[in-house]
């Protein structure tokens, strides 16, 4: 061992990751996955509702379409308030 490491003591081994690091990584992954999954579920339910209401009566399909437009508009306003363009 002295030849491999020289005359120094061998480097200390790192501690294995603990439960706190695992929870932190899990939280970071779910913070990315959950909004995307929720958006997919909401869009799927919205499209299904549009088809069902359109099959019932074409005028009823305008309700979820209008709600979708309002939701997209509110989301765009919220994003615009979060991320302002840089001042030049």
| DSSP string across 8-73 | SPPPPPPPPP-HHHHHHHHHHHHHHHHHHHHHHHHHHHHHHHHHHHHHH-GGGGHHHHHHHHHHHH
- What's the rounded Cα separation, in Å, for the pair 35 and 46? 16
Q: What is the pLDDT of residue 79?
A: 87
Q: What is the pLDDT of residue 47?
A: 93
* CB atoms inside a 10 Å sphere around CB 64: 20
For 13-69, write each residue's pLDDT tens digit.
777 767 888 899 999 999 999 999 999 999 999 999 999 999 999 999 999 999 999
Query: CB of 88 within 8 A of CB of 78?
Result: no
């Amino acid at each position: 061992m002295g030849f491999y490491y020289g005359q120094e003591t061998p480097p200390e081994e790192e501690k294995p990751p603990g439960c706190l690091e695992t929870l932190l990584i899990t939280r970071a992954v779910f913070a990315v996955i959950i909004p995307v999954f929720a958006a997919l579920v909401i869009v799927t339910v919205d499209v299904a509702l549009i088809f069902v209401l359109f099959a019932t009566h074409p005028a009823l399909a305008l309700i979820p379409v209008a709600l979708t437009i309002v939701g997209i508009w509110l989301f765009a306003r919220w994003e615009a308030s979060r991320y302002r363009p840089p001042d030049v």
